[in-house]
Amino acid sequence: MDRANLIAELKRVVGARAVVDDAAALMTYEADGCVMDLHAPTLVVLPATTEQVANVVQLAQRARIPIVPRGAGTGLAGGATPMQGGIVIATTRMDQVLEVDARNRRARVQPGVINWELSQYLAPYGYQFVPDPSSQRACTVGGNIANNSGGPHCLKYGTTTDHILALRMVLPDGSVIWTSDGSADRIGYDLQGVLTGSEGMCGVITEAWVRLTRLPEAQRVVLALFPDIPSASQTVSTVVARGFLPAALEMMDQLAIKAVNGMYRLGLPESAGAALLIELDGVSDGLDDLLAEVTGTCRDFGAMEVRPAKTPEEQAQVWAARKNAFGAMGRLSPSYYLVDTVVPRTRLPATLARVGEVSQEFKLPIANVFHAGDGNLHPLILFDRRDKSQLERALLAANAVLRESIEQGGVISGEHGIGVEKRDYMTLLYSTDDLAAMAGLKQCFDPHELFNPGKVFPAGRGCGELAALRRSGLNAADVAGTPAGAWL
């Protein structure tokens, strides 16, 4: 089908105003928050209903055109970048909260609902949708589901997958399913469990039943300042091990403190080597005693200063500093590369020490703002994109951090996903057979590989080749010259 025909067909499906075909306008969709690799889509459609999405998918399937689902485009791993062009299905217009069923603690929403707006909408009912990534004021629930997003409060309450009850999906063949009726358990294979976090490679989410969590009766937030990272890290381990069960446990290093200090007038001593933000929640009974134990633990490990945020306003200010820390980096450097990795919690000090060495090695400052309670690191490599040497060094530094995380028994993404950014690192973490199992699963949904091609699986040997290897009945070890995990 030629382009003109395709445009005409799509306009018939979604309406003339919901098809973007202007070259300048298409540039917006060349990438998401990961701007290392830009590819323009052939077209963008903005459907309003599940039926429209299904019709678009059927059309694309007939013409064998790739499809890339897109929420707000805030992803950091290139998950929404149309690597092979094709049709981007943006969920921008599907932004309704359809039903709040407070009695059963669930809500039915469209994928384009903004994460923050959903929680604002639910607050008067006394509920929240727990996942709260730093991008929550812009990112969509559909994007959260596709990436199994996290956020600070996942420490206590789990990531997005724990908060999804059912998905309505348009599958790659254009059919529409609800994965379940939204009750607690299902029989058969856990399709929504597999689809959550599948990075838009298995279909388009068009509706979801999400789990609602009652807002806690009381919260306490404390900001503790430490002379260095190791003392703060030990505090993290102890707070977790002693069973304080904090709702969030976040860390910032010296460079990050400097950045947010200026922006939020927190008046933090810039001599501090690390700041910990600890939130406790639950019923009010016993919470102040727990707070006292937590602040005591901070002091035991050498905290220079412990500041409880007493009023909701003070708490909000501390949280704003944390959640907008990435933005505050603009005060330090024109660009940054945010790396997302996870290590076992006890390996935090060693990993952070290595991050410090990497900074020295590649002569680029690295700030750290991260979910310490989960062991989820976010080194921010500061550089100037206009300087080619700096860009190259930033990529090398990121590579060194990822390798170190694997070395420490960790993984290469805690909440941002693999996308295109980290696809070639997958072989460092998984064997060929591990990846082939994932590829086989993906092909059950999308045999023609039209959905978000070029993601998650390594570029050298994509999903199709892995799945074919698997079906040939050969184990990776049997294929001469390709020992498991050796073909990066």
Lay out the site mask for other proteins across 359-378 (x = CB under 8 A, - = otherwise). Answer: ------------x--xxx--
CA 476 to chain centre: 30
Of 253 and 446, which CB lies nearer to other proteins in the complex structure?
446
CB of 81 to other proteins, least distance (A): 17
Nearer to other proteins, 91 or 144 (CB): 144
What is residue 424's DSSP assignment?
Answer: G
Q: Is 312 among the residues that bind other proteins (CB under 8 A)?
A: no
Which candidate, 81, 79, 75, 115, places its Cα nearest to that of 95?
115
Stretch that binds other proteins, among 20-28, 38-46, 56-64, 440-448 (CB under 8 A): 440-448
Beta-sheet pairing, 218-226 with 19-20: unpaired
Instruction: Compute the CA torsion angle 289, 295, 298, 300 (nearest 10 deg).
Output: -70
Nearer to other proteins, 21 or 465 (CB): 465
List the interface residues with other proteins, window 116-175 (CB under 8 A): 126, 147-148, 150, 154, 158-159, 161-162, 171
**75: Cβ–Cβ under 8 A, 6 or more apart, which residues?**
32, 33, 34, 143, 147, 416, 417, 419
d(CA 113, CA 259): 31
Rounded to whole angstroms, the Cα distance separating 119 from 387 reads 41
Q: How many residues are present in the chain?
A: 488
Binding positions for other proteins, 321-350, rule CB under 8 A = 342-346
Name the maximum alpha-carbon separation found in the chain.
70
Binding mask 388-417 for other proteins (x = CB under 8 A): ---------------------xxxxxxxxx
Out of 434, 462, 482, 485, name the contact with other proteins by CB under 8 A: 434
Q: Tell me the two tokens of residue 10.
A: 């799509």
| Phi then psi dihedrals of residue 315, to 5 deg | -65, -45
Per-residue contact track with other proteins, 76 to 105, x per CB under 8 A?
Answer: -------------------------x-xxx
Under rule CB under 8 A, residue 233 binds other proteins:
no
Cα dihedral 66, 71, 75, 81 in deg (nearest 10): 20
What is the closest distance, in whole angstroms, from the C-beta atom of residue 442 to other proteins in the complex?
Answer: 7
39 lies in the binding site for other proteins (CB under 8 A): no
Cβ distance to other proteins smaller for residue 262 or 344: 344
Contact yes or no for 241/249 (Cβ under 8 A): no
C-beta neighbour count of 384 within 10 angstroms: 14
Task: Check binding of 353 to other proteins (CB under 8 A).
Answer: no
- Rounded distance between C-alpha atoms, residue 10 and residue 325, angstroms: 41
- With binding defined as CB under 8 A, does residue 354 bind other proteins? no
- Which of 4, 22, 188, 311 touches other proteins (CB under 8 A)? 188
C-beta of 63 vs 290, nearer to other proteins: 290
Residues forming beta bridges with residue 18, ordered by sequence position: none
Query: Which CB atom, from 16 or from 241, has the smaller least distance to other proteins?
Result: 241
Site for other proteins in 271-290 (CB under 8 A): 282-283, 285-287, 289-290
- Sole binder of other proteins in the list 5, 183, 389, 472 (CB under 8 A): 183
Query: What is the end-to-end Cα distance of the chain in Å, rounded?
Result: 37
* Of the residues 34, 43, 87, 429, which one makes contact with other proteins according to CB under 8 A: 429
Q: How far is the CB of 431 from other proteins (least distance, A)?
A: 7
